[in-house]
Amino acid sequence: MSEPLHILVDADACPVKDEIYRVAMRREVRVTIVSNSPIRIPQHPLIARTVVGDAFDAADDWIAERAGPRTIVITGDILLADRCIKAGAVVIGSNGKPFTAASIGNAVAVRAIMADLRAGAASDRIGGPPPFSKTDRSRFLSALDEALVRLARQA
């Protein structure tokens, strides 16, 4: 029998934790919420919390070390997504957009360009990401469900 599916959540800024809990309980998939400080989680045997402390990239390192082919990682962090894809994990942004081996290189490059622009004179004209919407939430639920079905079939 293959290793069970596991969802790892980069949780400090994740707006879809409740959706992850519902899907995981319905599909009976383990979830680990990883954060720098304690986050309230439901009392359920499938849901665990890991607090890694506030060292730089501590949550990212913890998640990347445990990511693999039977893992779905939920994160908005492009560099963490890159590390997890290289480990064989399925990676989904909290807005439902998947990070893939084909798309991650472009995402890393755009991230670097945006960081340079924000650090320069244009920083007052560059906003952050658009507000999280109902469409993002719906797209996330579909993407998570699709990833779980695909990984379950591969077992």
Q: CATH number for the domain including 121?
A: 3.40.50
59 in a structural domain: yes
What tokens does 70 get?
Answer: 């039977």
pLDDT value of residue 130: 74
53 lies in some domain: yes
| pLDDT tier, 12 (very low <50, low <70, confident <90, very high otherwise) | confident
Region 6-19: what's the mean pLDDT? 94
Q: Which residue has the higher pLDDT, 93 or 106?
A: 93
- Per DSSP, the three-state class of 60 is helix
Examine residue 1 and state whether it is found in any structural domain, yes or no: no
> What is the tally of structural domains in the chain?
1
Residue 140: what pLDDT? 96
122-131 pLDDT, tens per residue? 555 556 667 8
User: How far is it, in rounded angstroms, from Cα 2 to Cα 38?
Assistant: 31
Buried/exposed 98-128: b ≥16 CB within 10 Å, e otherwise: bbeeeebeebeeeeeeeeeeeeeeeeeeeee
- Which candidate, 12, 6, 55, places its Cα nearest to that of 32? 6
pLDDT above 90 (res 135) = yes
How far, in Å, CA of 111 to CA of 25, rounded? 34
> Which domain range does residue 75 map to?
6-154
pTM for the model:
0.85
pLDDT of residue 69: 95
User: Per-residue pLDDT averaged across 96-100, rounded?
Assistant: 89
